[in-house]
Amino acid sequence: MVEAELYLAATHRPELRPLADCWRTALVDVLTLRYPPDRSRAAAVFLDGVLLDVLSNATPLEPAAVAAALRDLLGPGERAGSGERAG
């Protein structure tokens, strides 16, 4: 919930934008250890939307649907530095 509040506050208070960007970048950085940067960014944006849906919708998506969509977005990953496909 704090993440959503931070993003919203940053739209009205430009001084908070670097902090919001740092928060967003942290997730992308973690995902990029295993997945391509463009897919990692797309997954982070998707998860932000999922968070807003959970906070505002009486019937949020089923966890299995979220997991399936993430798998589709991210595709097969590689373990960092190994060239080995993650499965």
Distance CA 3, CA 80 (A): 27
pLDDT tens column, 33-71 = 999 999 999 999 999 889 888 888 888 889 999 999 999
In this predicted model, which residue has the larger pLDDT, 84 or 55?
55
Question: What integer pLDDT is reported at residue 87 of this predicted model?
Answer: 46
Distance of CA 72 to the CA centre of its chain: 14
pLDDT tens column, 2-13 = 777 877 788 889
- Assessment of whether the complete model's pTM goes beyond 0.85: no
SS3 label, residue 78: strand
End-to-end CA, the chain:
30
Give the helix ranges, DSSP H, for 1-87: 2-12, 17-32, 37-56, 63-74
Q: List the domain boundaries for the chain.
A: 21-74
Residues in a beta bridge with 85: 78
